Structure 1
């Protein structure tokens, strides 16, 4: 059998490979964030080539490109639940394929300029929806691709991550337009203008960013933090291999051996302890063990992750009155479960913060009224199934001397810049992030999460004490530098100082304004689409 690939097939295959690799590399390899600037160029050429050559089912090739990108960069979700990974990869790829389909439609109906504008605003509007919507998954926003090259996006303190998405889309579109449209320019002057614009578009933001990085100076007001990384295997030991007391003893021993007189905060990982009833936390042996530990270290405060439960008063909420859509029955009443950060000091004072940006298909089922039956796609972590409860607003913890106001983002919450800034609005002058990335094993997942946290430091100009159960734990300064870190999958501690900051950045003040503008602009494109469809309908009736 003589099987030969024709030229068109080879070209399409080459563009699919180039597009998926260029989009993937920034999320896989440290220091290659700049690749995201032209990562969309092969995708645009694929759309152009298949359209010009009238290739059948041409958008399937674009979908395949985005599917490969999503699979290469987020396959690690499958370590927790295979069907959950399939759902995330398939749906995210499909959503951006739809944006590209609409880009082709607008260009055909209204010309190249309107098509380009729709691609820019439509893509960013969809990323904005992935941040703010019920079914949210912002992991692969183009702006996140710069995370491993954070020194080139110091201006995220003004724009947030969507400023990076805008930069990447503009650059890719201009490169594509120069290559495909250069021969059609009326004069050499127009070609020179486009070439100069491209050079400026690449160089100016990088120059500004490096100038900001070099000139940024933190106010010197250091506070000492101790980060404890107990490295409890989430698949083997966390939920069965070790008792809670054995796990507590590991962490307490590490804490006692490394805490100092100047240590003000001890940070422990997400969901380290469990079974704590918020109505009476001192009924928990684990809670009491940590309270007694803090009594021995009078100056320090502890932030530790826990799975907690709140029992609603039966007099207020009989079985006929459900308190919330996440609550469940227990005996003659109701209770809610939470992924919680507990703040505890030596006096016994404690405060709770409930994680409220939950992982879709892991910690909550989106649109429960309509999708409640799709249990197959839900990822079960640590034997817990069902939607966690949340709280309406962010809250922060304050040290006894009121000098430190610390926000605590739990795991997935640190991926959302617009959400994360709310801790700063509540007064946080330093941040902590607690997580358990061990679910993803030794994969790009935990590295990507760490890189994204560096972007949060830049957007808010707040230092971060980051604690991961299995790593990587880190101290991150206000420029996004990792000043110290632990190794992956090791039992270790990290002690160091972080500076506080009271200043409010433009992004913290105004939030995701680029996303809001793009989202609002969809009204214009919807109006254009309606007018076009009405014209088509009128012509059809003639």
Structure 2
């Protein structure tokens, strides 16, 4: 019964750390109950306790999968099945983590225990970022998205550095409860790392880049119902919505941004739609970035840059597709039961490193789900992007916690690369995020809205942009080295 209570406590604390609840301070203690539950258990029982905790946590965090399937007209049972399988899969990372820490914490010194707990967690988060096309949703560091002063270390470590600090503190609290004391060196190590965030933020506030370039943008949040988007009866309604938004917006902007798949049809394939877009764009006398689908022998989810005359200048295609939303994994097996959730069928993968040039301004363009993958955005910055733009639909998610969960990860992309990040979403959340991670503009979800801002551009290359997930790889090395040394010492004593 005590173990069950600890499992539930850990799961609830983890769930409440993330949107919509946003009790982010709970992340700093959410693992303590599971450490307490597993530290005296054998490997197999620790594995099961860890799996149970992780699975329950992510059933709660990802609950929005069920209403998404239901709203798509699919049997809710498939939504429940998908949610259960995905949460169970993420639960395996928790299972291996607590099985290993439960075993090794009994045999390591305090500081080595703390380092092993933290580095092993990062190793598993990084694996989750890449394994099976990757699903880094709900990484522990993302819980701190509303605390810019806590997450500046991401410029050097990515989101993994924030997760490292959270896990280190959780393990510190656990060892304090278990041993009734904490070594000064362990406490000093944590305080030194944590205070680095404030030092970095202070430096950024006091350093004023010379000759900073700016440009003005308008974000058009159309708030089009997801299941009106591809119904031909609503084409004129959708186009009139964006026409009205463009007419209401400032006419002095250098770029108007529409959300992902905001044009209700295939472009440039549909000549009538192209003419209607030209009629909307031309009076604004500015450039437009418009999300739309296209068929170029293959189907792509794309972003088109239009000049002020309504002519297409360039296009980029989405390169990291959403499982079940844009393609069905294990297609030959699963397609018998599950179709893609959108009404247009599956899409093909575009080329990576999507850059567009607006005059002298190189723009890094990501579409929807792509912004949750740090390396993809980092590659755009390395190739010269001076501002980052994410267009997304998010109408899939209705009024669920998926909206702020998805938005929150963009804050880390801004800090990691020290770029302004502009996000334009169909149903929200749209916003402008400064290179410091501070949100300068933010829309309300599920309403039509226009956001206008003048944003800074930068050509600075951060440590994270240059070396990527070096910190995570060092954590991989450190955790494997700890296991190797421990096993070697065990063998030598027997």
Asked if Structure 1 and Structure 2 have the same fold, meaning a TM-score greater than 0.5 normalized by the shorter chain, the answer is yes
2:440 and 2:407 mapped to 1: Cα distance? 13
Query: Does the C-alpha gap of structure 1 residues 192 and 482 become closer, same or farther in structure 2, counting only changes over 3 Å?
Result: closer
Query: Does the C-alpha gap of structure 1 residues 110 and 473 become closer, same or farther in structure 2, counting only changes over 3 Å?
Result: closer
2:291 and 2:452 mapped to 1: Cα distance? 19
1:206-355 correspondence to structure 2 within 5 Å: 206-212=197-203, 214-215=205-206, 217=208, 220-235=212-227, 237-240=228-231, 242-260=233-251, 262-273=252-263, 275-276=265-266, 281=268, 283-298=270-285, 300-311=286-297, 336-347=298-309, 348-355=311-318
The RMSD of aligned alpha carbons is 3.1
What are the superposed Cα offsets for residues 205-257 of structure 1, whole Å, 9 maximum, x if unpaired? 3532542464354665332111111111113x223274333312221232133
1:17 and 1:382 mapped to 2: Cα distance? 35
1:67 aligns with 2:67: no
How far is 1:435 from its partner?
Answer: 0.8
How far is 1:21 from its partner?
Answer: 2.4
Structure number with larger C-alpha Rg: 1
One of 365, 379, 386 as aligned partner of 1:429 = 386
Three-state SS of the structure 2 residue aligned to 1:276 is coil
Equivalence for 1:390: 349
2:255 and 2:116 mapped to 1: Cα distance? 48
Greater shift after overlay, 221-230 or 129-138? Answer: 129-138
1:501 aligns with 2:492: no
How far is 1:385 from its partner?
Answer: 3.8
2:264 and 2:390 mapped to 1: Cα distance? 19
> Which structure 1 residue ranges, 4+ long, deviate > 6 Å from structure 2?
108-115, 528-533
Three-state SS of the structure 2 residue aligned to 1:133 is helix
Equivalence for 1:517: 474
1:149 aligns with 2:140: no
Query: Does the C-alpha gap of structure 1 residues 483 and 266 become closer, same or farther in structure 2, counting only changes over 3 Å?
Result: same
Query: Does the C-alpha gap of structure 1 residues 378 and 270 become closer, same or farther in structure 2, counting only changes over 3 Å?
Result: farther
Greater shift after overlay, 466-475 or 97-106? Answer: 97-106
Asked if the contact 2:221/2:427 (under 8 Å) is kept, the reply is: yes
2:151 and 2:108 mapped to 1: Cα distance? 34
Asked if the contact 2:153/2:162 (under 8 Å) is kept, the reply is: no
Equivalence for 1:181: 179
How far is 1:451 from its partner?
Answer: 1.7
What are the superposed Cα offsets for residues 489-523 of structure 1, whole Å, 9 maximum, x if unpaired? 11121122111112111111111111223345566
Equivalence for 2:73: none
Query: Does the C-alpha gap of structure 1 residues 56 and 404 become closer, same or farther in structure 2, counting only changes over 3 Å?
Result: closer
How many residues are matched? 481
Query: Does the C-alpha gap of structure 1 residues 78 and 217 become closer, same or farther in structure 2, counting only changes over 3 Å?
Result: farther
How far is 1:479 from its partner?
Answer: 1.7
Unaligned runs of 5+ in 2: 70-78
How far is 1:157 from its partner?
Answer: 1.4
Asked if the contact 1:343/1:350 (under 8 Å) is kept, the reply is: yes
Three-state SS of the structure 2 residue aligned to 1:342 is strand
Asked if the contact 1:471/1:486 (under 8 Å) is kept, the reply is: yes
What are the superposed Cα offsets for residues 299-355 of structure 1, whole Å, 9 maximum, x if unpaired? x211111122221xxxxxxxxxxxxxxxxxxxxxxxx21111111113524211111
Asked if the contact 2:59/2:87 (under 8 Å) is kept, the reply is: yes
1:16 and 1:210 mapped to 2: Cα distance? 36
Asked if the contact 1:218/1:499 (under 8 Å) is kept, the reply is: no
Asked if the contact 2:49/2:95 (under 8 Å) is kept, the reply is: no
Query: Does the C-alpha gap of structure 1 residues 479 and 500 become closer, same or farther in structure 2, counting only changes over 3 Å?
Result: same
